[in-house]
Amino acid sequence: EMGIRDRGGAARLAEIEVPKYDDSETTFAELQALIAKVLAFIDGIAPAQIDGKEGIEIVTRPGTPKEKRFSGQNYLLTYGLPQFFFHVTTTYALLRHNGVEVGKRDYMGAF
């Protein structure tokens, strides 16, 4: 859940409300505006708001059959980061498939 649409990972670890957006974007301009909003939200979370949250309880989809309970550390390592990397990798593959010339260094950075 760490993609642009779900800023929940950082919010849950900081123990603040997950912002909700309309999810009605249909143009690149609207998507870029959404990205800007999400980045501003994440930039507004201070490291101190997340530090030491390894042991907090995080409940996803509470009250539903899909409810899951995690410690803060387990949430990050077994749910949040895998979700993030899934979405990054899928976006990379879609871009490549559609002819965008991106390579491993665009993903991994230079060493």
Which residues on adjacent β-strands are paired with residue 72?
Answer: none
* Domains contained in the chain, number: 1
Instruction: With a cut of 50, say whether residue 5 has pLDDT above it.
Output: no
Q: How confident is the model at residue 6 (pLDDT cuts 50, 70, 90)?
A: low
Which residues lie below 8 Å from residue 46, measured CB to CB, with a gap of 6+? none
- Write the pLDDT tens digit of every residue in 7-51: 788 999 999 998 888 878 899 899 899 889 988 999 999 999 999
- 45 found inside a domain: yes
Measured distance CA(67)–CA(49) in Å, rounded:
24
Each as own residue / partner, the long-range contacts of residues 70-78 (CB below 8 Å, 24 or more positions apart, any chain) are: 72/13, 75/9, 75/12, 75/13, 76/9, 76/13
User: For residue 42, is it within any domain?
Assistant: yes
Q: What is the pTM of this model?
A: 0.77
The residue length of the chain stands at 111
* 18 assigned to some structural domain: yes
Domain hosting 22: range is 8-100
Question: Which tokens go with 74?
Answer: 């387990």
Asked whether residue 41 is assigned to any structural domain, the reply reads: yes
Q: Which CATH number do you get for residue 74?
A: 1.20.120.450
At 44-90, the pLDDT tens digits run 999 999 999 999 999 988 999 999 999 999 999 999 899 888 988 89
- Does residue 2 surpass a pLDDT of 90? no
Question: Does 110 reside within a domain?
Answer: no
